[in-house]
Amino acid sequence: MTAPKALVAGNWKMNGLTASKKEIEKLQSMISENGANCDVLICPPATIIGLLSGKGVEIGAQDCHMNISGAHTGDISALMLKDLGCHYVMVGHSERRSDHGESNDMVKSKAIAAQQQGLAAIICVGESDAERENGETLDVVTAQIKGSIPEDAIVKNTVIAYEPVWAIGTGKTPTADDVAEVHMVIRNLLMDRFGDEGEMVRILYGGSVKASNAHELMSVLNVNGALVGGASLKAEDFYGIIATYQ
């Protein structure tokens, strides 16, 4: 079995207005002129998903509700995201887990909702600074993976993003050896879960990825792409990471 095609995904978080369409168009021109040897995804705020066309760049979402419709003021369902043309939705980002108290069970329910609508769920996992200091990284990540992947998930609709919480937005990154160790544990869990096909599930690394460190991080065994926050907001910065795969 070969390695999966890499995915470089941008998480815009709560940034982006209607004018940000221009930034996506700039990225699309850079990709059409210079190429991209990986899949490229932007997850903008839900307010502008409908304005963006996915030519050369997939448009995804940052979260979805676990139900398809109903009395859930302010929430957005996977069906609505599918209706807008999304093929991916992130679930369980650490900012959702901390800001909204999302447990593994809730993350799993959201992933089920996404996958039932034909979307791929990007399931985010990662240890906090304190957990890392206590030597709990592998236990925490293992529990998150086991608790967040739906029973009916298949390789095609599952992406894992390993994002150490202490590396998100801080400019700090784990060493390549540390990333390799965690990604190997995740790969083994995926192989236990999906058999040989577990090799084809993409495992993204996220946390302060930028053009200057992307090559080192993306070269690590079992790293099949990146989930990028701050450096995905500007087309030039983001393309610098995408170009790692040229």
Instruction: Restricting to residues 49-78, name those near ligand PEP by CB under 6 A.
Output: none
Rounded to a whole number of angstroms, the minimum distance from the CB of residue 94 to ligand PEP is 8
Query: How buried is 153 (Cβ within 10 angstroms: 0-12 exposed, 13-18 middle, 19+ buried)?
Result: buried
Provide the residue type at 241 as one letter: I
Three-state DSSP state, 91: strand
Query: Which of 123, 220, 227, 235 contacts ligand PEP by CB under 6 A?
Result: 227
Stretch that binds ligand PEP, among 45-53, 140-148, 163-171, 234-242 (CB under 6 A): 163-171
Query: Which of 27, 155, 165, 209 contacts ligand PEP by CB under 6 A?
Result: 209
Stretch that binds ligand PEP, among 24-32, 33-41, 67-75, 222-230 (CB under 6 A): 222-230
Residue number, 191 or 211, with CB nearest to ligand PEP: 211
Provide the residue type at 220 as one letter: V
Residues involved in catalysis: 93, 163
Rounded distance between C-alpha atoms, residue 203 and residue 159, angstroms = 6
Quote the crossing angle between the two packed helices 235-242 and 21-34, to the nearest 10°: 40
Rounded distance between C-alpha atoms, residue 66 and residue 79, angstroms = 10
Q: Does 168 bind ligand PEP (CB under 6 A)?
A: yes
Stretch that binds ligand PEP, among 105-113, 128-136, 213-221, 225-233 (CB under 6 A): 225-233
Q: How far is CA 168 from the centre of its chain?
A: 13
Binding site for ligand PEP (CB under 6 A): 11, 13, 163, 168-169, 206-209, 227-231
